[in-house]
Amino acid sequence: MHYLLEEFTQGKPLHVSVRKARKHLQELEIPVQNELFYPRASRLPVLIQNPATPELYWPKQPTLPIRQIILFLLIIIGFFGVSKRIPKSEAMTDNISIGEEILVKLFQPRDKQRGVDAVAQCQKPWNYFLPIWKSHIRQQWSDCFVTKKSYQEAAQHLQQSWKRERRSPETLIYLNNAIVEATGVDYYTITVVVPVLQDETEQISNAEVAEEILRGVAQAQTEVNLSLFKKAKPFNFTLPGANFLNLNDLNGKGLKVIIANDANREEQANKVANTIVKRPDILGVIGHWTSKITTETVDIYNQNKLVLVSPGSSTYELTVKPRKFFFRVVTTNDFRAEAMVDILMNQINQNRATIFYNDASPYSSDYKKRLEEKFSEKGAYVIDSVEISRPNFNAKNAIEKVRKDGKSAIILIPDTPVTNNSFTNSLEIIKENDNQNWIIADSGIYSPKTLNIAQPKLLEKVIVTINWHHLNSPQPEFAQTTVQLWGGPVSNRTALSYDAAKVLLEGIRQQPTRQGIQNILADQSFSIDGVTGKIKFKPGTGDRQKLPLELVKIVPCPNQMFGFTFIPVKFSTPEDAGLNCSSSVDF
């Protein structure tokens, strides 16, 4: 094809170009020592020129639309039959989707599946479209890449699905993508990587964290695309939030978001990362969530000069060995540990504690080390450190040992609910403690599953440290818009992922190239006002500068999930925080 185009675009007739291309290919059929050769390489079809028709030349000043020129070239390629020589793509099987596959398979509404199927028609491998002389292939090509009919149909189905399931951020991201494609606007592309956990039967076992992250990214994407479509509603498509979301113009372009699932597994995460970095259209990545997977994949992004902005990885290991293309909007473990020791000593008057942690987790084990350092600096004492993820862990025995060691607090630093073993054992610790000792827990405990304990006596002495709470937000309007968009308040994970998206989008706005984005974020003058507070990065590390932690407690609230809710400790009651616990059930 290279030889053919080289001749054809230089003004030679098509049949002459084919003949000269064949001559070049004949040279590849001859074996040469230490070089590859290709038998039968010159077996191209013979074009017979009809004397009654004019010669076919490459147009000197093309007046055809670029899509028609591409279509013409694909016809030639298909005519030569090269489609059989092109390996099949792994699209729709790589845990990466722009809308052709449902990754968060909690349930699959019919409208959503029909929208996904329409997009999947246009995400088939290129060799599928090469036999374009076939009428049905030609029609699919036109529907996907000329008239955009397939994307229009996808947008219609996804719009209907969104109306029925407003809590699905995956649906909203796919709707955004379909509208951007259907309207033909220019756009930028980013990726968000989330952990969608599966059990041994490949069924979804936990998508709580994944959906919380996707909500923040979906909201940021919608704000960008609404800036294009708020006034003009192309093809009668509508995006939610036109009347209450803040519009975010991105150089007059739209935004497509690719969703990737790392499943919190190292092998899958590596495959996903290696696939992402090879796509030149992707300008940046939001992820990964856990420290374990981030430390496993960060060098892949760094070596390929693709910015990775993590909303959740807090391990100090990434500070000790910084990467130029890694940034994070979450507070690092050294600061979190310092804040936790201050809570123990100054708010609950304890200077002794037993730490429950997961030694196999880069996040939890690193956190435990930072706590021990801060305890030593402050003159406090770690009575014991208990590995909470052991298969034979017994919460009752662990609590009995805490009591024998004398009066002390309990510190819980399991993995997030992504990793069920240490998280589940932490809940057992809360139950067995029976409200006797104070418990200070990190954000992994901030979960509806904790509320499901549903016994006031067991939860009274539990304090959880998080980065953001909707009842005490630096930007209260964000907390209000999330209620309107998602049908209820969102978690700190959503706020952090929204801020990660805002950081990446600001880099794109100023310098929309991979290296340009890194230059912007690494500049010492870079600063944005995030919903979790001002975001600046420490020079040379990509760490966020200090972010105060929010302390929350668990209080009864009958109309909330499981009859309880988290509120900032500064409020005595839910009513003081502005909640009406007698109204209809919230999100």
Helix (H, G, I), strand (E, B) or coil at 443: helix
pLDDT at site 547: 79
Give, in words, the CATH class of 343-466. Answer: alpha beta
Radius of gyration of the chain (CA): 28
Using DSSP bridges, classify how beta strands 197-198 and 204-206 pair: parallel, antiparallel or unpaired: antiparallel
Enumerate the CATH 3.40.50.2300 domain ranges in the chain, comma separated.
Answer: 343-466
Sorted by sequence, the CB contacts under 8 Å of residue 556 that are 6+ apart come out as 456, 563, 564, 581
User: Could you tell me what percent of the chain has a pLDDT over 90?
Assistant: 60
- How far apart CA 88 and CA 141 sit, in angstroms, is 18
Average of per-residue pLDDT across 336-361: 91
Whether the pLDDT of residue 64 is over 50: the answer is no
Instruction: Read off the pLDDT of residues 461-504 as tens digits, 9 standing for 90 and up.
Output: 999 999 999 999 999 999 999 999 999 999 999 999 999 999 99
Numbers of helices and strands, H then E, in the chain: 21, 17
Whether the pLDDT of residue 74 is over 60: the answer is no
DSSP string, 43-94: -PPPPPPPTTSPPP---SS--S-HHHHHHHHHHHHHHTTGGGGSPPP-TTSS
Whether the pLDDT of residue 573 is over 50: the answer is yes
Buried b (16+ CB within 10 A) or exposed e, 229-263: beeeeeeebbbbbeeebeebebeebbbbbbbbbbb
pLDDT at site 154: 95
Q: Which helix (H) or strand (E) holds 413?
A: strand 409-413
First to last CA, the chain: 57
Q: Over the chain, what is the mean pLDDT?
A: 85
Sign of the C-alpha dihedral, residues 45, 46, 52, 54? positive
Whether the pLDDT of residue 262 is over 50: the answer is yes
pLDDT at site 444: 87
Whether the pLDDT of residue 80 is over 50: the answer is no
Confidence of residue 108 (pLDDT cuts 50, 70, 90): confident
Neighbour-count burial of 209, counting CB atoms closer than 10 A to its CB (0-12 exposed, 13-18 middle, 19+ buried) = buried
Confidence of residue 33 (pLDDT cuts 50, 70, 90): very low
Using DSSP bridges, classify how beta strands 533-535 and 528-530 pair: parallel, antiparallel or unpaired: antiparallel
Sorted by sequence, the CB contacts under 8 Å of residue 352 that are 6+ apart come out as 380, 381, 382, 383, 406, 407, 408, 409
Average of per-residue pLDDT across 12-40: 60
The better pLDDT of the pair 90, 114 is held by 114
pLDDT at site 129: 81
At residue 236's C-alpha, the angle toward residues 234 and 242, to 5°, is 80
pLDDT at site 10: 62
Q: Which helix (H) or strand (E) holds 286?
A: strand 282-286
- How far apart CA 424 and CA 72 sit, in angstroms, is 60
Whether the pLDDT of residue 298 is over 80: the answer is yes
pLDDT at site 32: 46
Confidence of residue 90 (pLDDT cuts 50, 70, 90): very low
pLDDT at site 75: 52
Whether the pLDDT of residue 49 is over 60: the answer is no
Which amino acid, residue 569?
Answer: V
pLDDT at site 503: 98
